[in-house]
Chains A and B, each alone.
Chain A
Amino acid sequence: MSEAAVIETGASDEPQVKSARAETILYVDGVSVTFDGFRALNNLSFYVEPGELRAIIGPNGAGKTTMMDIITGKTRPDTGDVLFKSEIDLTKMDEAEIANLGIGRKFQKPTVFESHTVFDNLLLACSGGRGVFQALFHRLSDAEKIRIEKTLITIMLEDKRDEMAANLSHGQKQWLEIGMLLMQEPELLLVDEPVAGMTDSETEETAKLLRSIAKDRSVVVVEHDMEFVRDLDCKVTVLHEGSVLAEGRLDHVQKDPRVIEVYLGR
Chain B
Amino acid sequence: MTDYRQKYKMTPVVGWLLNDRGGMTLLAILIAAAILVPVGNLLVPESSAFHVPTWMVSLLGKYLCYALLALSVDLIWGFCGILSLGHGAFFALGGYAMGMYLMRQIGDRGVYGDPILPDFMVFLNWKELPWYWYGFDMFWFAIVMAMFVPGLLAFVFGFLAFRSRVTGVYLSIITQAMTYALLLAFFRNDMGFGGNNGLTDFKDLLGFSLQSDGTRAGLFVASCVFLGLCYIVARGITQSRLGKVLIAIRDAESRVRFTGYRVEYYKLFVFTVSAVMAGIAGALYVPQVGIINPGEFAPALSIEIVIWVAVGGRGTLYGAVLGAFIVNYAKTFFTGVMPDFWLFFLGGLFIAVTLFLPKGVIGAVPAFGAADRQSLFTTWRKRVAERRANEGGKA
Contacts and interface: CB of A to CB of B under 8 A. Distances in A.
Contacts of B252: 111-114
Contacts of B12: 139
Interface in A167-192: 180, 184
A100 B240 contact: no
A137 B240 contact: yes
A95 B257 contact: yes
A99 B242 CA distance: 18
A135 interface: yes
Interface residues of A, number: 30
A87 B255 CA distance: 26
Interface centre among A120, A136, A184 (most CB of B within 10 A): A136
Contacts of A125: 259
A226 to B, nearest CB: 27
Nearest to A125: B259
Contacts of A120: 244
A118 to B, nearest CB: 13
Nearest to A101: B260
Nearest to A111: B255
B258 A72 contact: yes
Interface string A5-49: 000000000000000000000000000000000000000000000
Contact of A132 (B247, B250, B257, B266): B266
Contacts of B394: none
Contact of A96 (B242, B247, B262, B269): B262
Interface residues of B, number: 25
A138 B247 contact: no
A132 B259 contact: no
B7 interface: no
A143 B257 CA distance: 24
Nearest to A97: B260
Contact of A115 (B247, B257, B258, B259): B247
B257 A99 contact: yes
B254 A111 contact: yes
A184 B255 contact: no
B255 A130 contact: no
Interface string A209-224: 0000000000000000
Contact of B259 (A99, A114, A136, A138): A99
Interface string B215-242: 0000000000000000000000100111
A113 B261 contact: no
A182 to B, nearest CB: 12
Interface string A113-145: 111100010011100001110011111000000
B201 interface: no
B367 to A, nearest CB: 20
Interface in B248-272: 248, 250-252, 254-263, 265-266, 269
Nearest to B253: A111
A107 interface: yes
B276 interface: no
Interface centre among B240, B241, B256, B262 (most CB of A within 10 A): B241
Contacts of A114: 251-252
A115 B262 CA distance: 20
B85 interface: no
B264 to A, nearest CB: 9
Contacts of A132: 242, 262, 265-266, 269
B240 A135 contact: yes
A105 interface: yes
A237 to B, nearest CB: 22
A138 B241 contact: yes
Contacts of A131: 265
Contacts of B248: 113, 116, 124
A104 interface: yes
Nearest to B270: A132
5 tightest A-B CB contacts, nearest first: A99-B260, A135-B242, A138-B241, A95-B257, A113-B248
Interface of A: 72, 74, 94-96, 99-100, 104-105, 107, 111-116, 120, 123-125, 130-132, 135-139, 180, 184
